[in-house]
Amino acid sequence: MKAETKKQLDYMKKTLDKAAVYDHAEHIISFDLETSCPPEGMEEQGEVAAFMSNQLFRMTHTKKFLEAVDDLYASRKELSEPEKAMVDRFYREFNRTRDITPAMDHRMTKVLKKSYVDWLKAKQAGDYSLFAPSLEAVRDVEMEKISLTRKKKKVPYDNLLDIYEPGMTQKMLDECFGTCVERMVPMLEKIRASKKVIRTDFMSRPVSDEAQAKMATYLMHLMGYDFNRGMFGTTEHPFTDSLGRKDTRITTNYDPNYFISSIYSVIHEGGHALFDMFAPEEEWDYHFHEEKSMGQHESVSRFYENVIGRSESFIHLIYDKVCETFPDAMKGVSMKELYEGVNRVQPSLIRTDADEFTYVFHIIIRYEMEKLIVNGKADIKELPRLWNEKYREYLGVTPKNDAEGILQDVHWSSGFGYFPTYALGNMYNAMYYNRMKQELDVPALVEKGDIPAINRWMQEHVWKRAARLDSDTWIREITGRSLTPDDFLDYLEEKYGAIYGLD
């Protein structure tokens, strides 16, 4: 390595080591904001988090730092693989942020932090009008960021997709989701016409928060979550956050009349946590641990939540513990009834509680709305009406209020482009699950509780190189194929065809 290259590399690494302290502090403040901060203190705390985030931005957007990244990117052949991953991360990021000044960044971040507070107030009041001004401000910030992006893409929405799933485009999603609708709508009609009766009455029997917390702890231990490097709390909208190298936290919430919700929320967030907990040390050493795409991340969370968590073998594994923890709710409920209950297909209003099959339609609805918002074809004030129309169109249900409608998700308080990654995650994990089954007897391992064997396979094939690779290279490295929805659709047809006795 040339002396000048080493000098620039040392400078970049040292700067990022210092900036990571502000990043860590901002994550801690934001985690507290969403889990334990008193309502009247939220807006001020959001401003403190925005300040910390802005300090990181300032340190990584000096003329000297930007020049170092440009020089190192031009000298990539001299760098090791983790060094390249670090440089590539910031080179891509600077394509979006190089022309954003520190003052602009601070203003934009404050808009997003305030938007979260306004969303929470609006949801609790069930009144979208309390959130609409903030959502409009978020939309304006997103459009401003796009206008400042160098080498911007012609389709405005593609610039936002690229943040969460680099390389993904609106055209590609239109094709994937079009295939999903084409194959899933006829099957949904068959399911709804089926004479199969699935029992679900027990799932609405009251269960205490304490019992649900006990079950959550059991599930996290079962999955391999390391409580020495994490904790879990409660919040309005469950999430996972890696605050530091050895600090990955998850959150859930408890519905006293739907205990299944917290079970699958915990498994979903636990999947995210495992992905980060098993990350190679070099991701933190070289500051590219955040480079995993959200499609990669959601593939893992939804793999554990659905492919593993809603399988017959997993229900067999946890059945006795569920009965022991929720004795009144599970009285007279067989193992088969629990399995069928958690897999019942029933169009519903709440995305996070949706069954595995109809969940995709929730994502398609949000995707279609995001395209309209970003492409300037939707009035922010009229979004609840549009939301309700699309729920009637795709799922045949209509929200009674904004809280169970447009305000149910937190994601739009921080921008657009994230939602499609949930569906992409389903597609990716169905592809690598087919590869996994060629090497492991997955049902047998799950039924006897050998989740560590599943985790080891995931570590070797799915997690180890994810942060170094773009999603297309990553999934081709695992499966030999580029993204396709076909594996996921085949999986749905096989699983739900069996449950509902379809031809």
Q: So which residues are the catalytic ones? A: 269
Rounded-to-integer distance, Cα 89 and Cα 13, Å: 13
Sign of the dihedral through C-alpha 74, 80, 81, 86: negative
CA angle, residues 30, 36, 37, in degrees to nearest 5:
70
Residue 78: count other Cβ atoms within 10 Å of its Cβ.
Answer: 14
Residue 297: count other Cβ atoms within 10 Å of its Cβ.
Answer: 20
- Residue of 350, 347, 346, 348 whose CA lies nearest to 406: 350
Rounded-to-integer distance, Cα 372 and Cα 364, Å: 13
Beta carbons of 63 and 104 less than 8 angstroms apart: no
Locate 293 and state its tokens.
Answer: 């795409």
At a CB cut-off of 8 Å and minimum separation 6, what does 313 contact?
442, 443, 444, 446, 447
SS3 for 215-284 is HHHHHHHHHCCCHHHCCEEECCCCCEEEEECCEEEEEECCCCCCHHHHHHHHHHHHHHHHHHHCCCHHHH
SS3 for 60-87 is CCCHHHHHHHHHHHHCHHHCCHHHHHHH
Q: How far is CA 71 from the centre of its chain?
A: 34
Beta carbons of 439 and 305 less than 8 angstroms apart: no
Phi, psi of 397 (to 5 degrees): -130, 155
- Calculate the CA dihedral of residues 212, 336, 343, 301 and round it to 10 degrees: 60
Phi, psi of 55 (to 5 degrees): -65, -40
- Residue of 176, 239, 241, 238 whose CA lies nearest to 423: 176
Helices (H) and strands (E) in the chain, counts: 21, 3
Residue 372: count other Cβ atoms within 10 Å of its Cβ.
Answer: 15
Locate 489 and state its tokens.
Answer: 């659709």
344-359 as b/e, with b when 16 or more CB fall inside 10 Å?
Answer: bbebbbbbeebbbbbb
Can you give the length of the chain in residues? Answer: 503
Residue 423: count other Cβ atoms within 10 Å of its Cβ.
Answer: 26
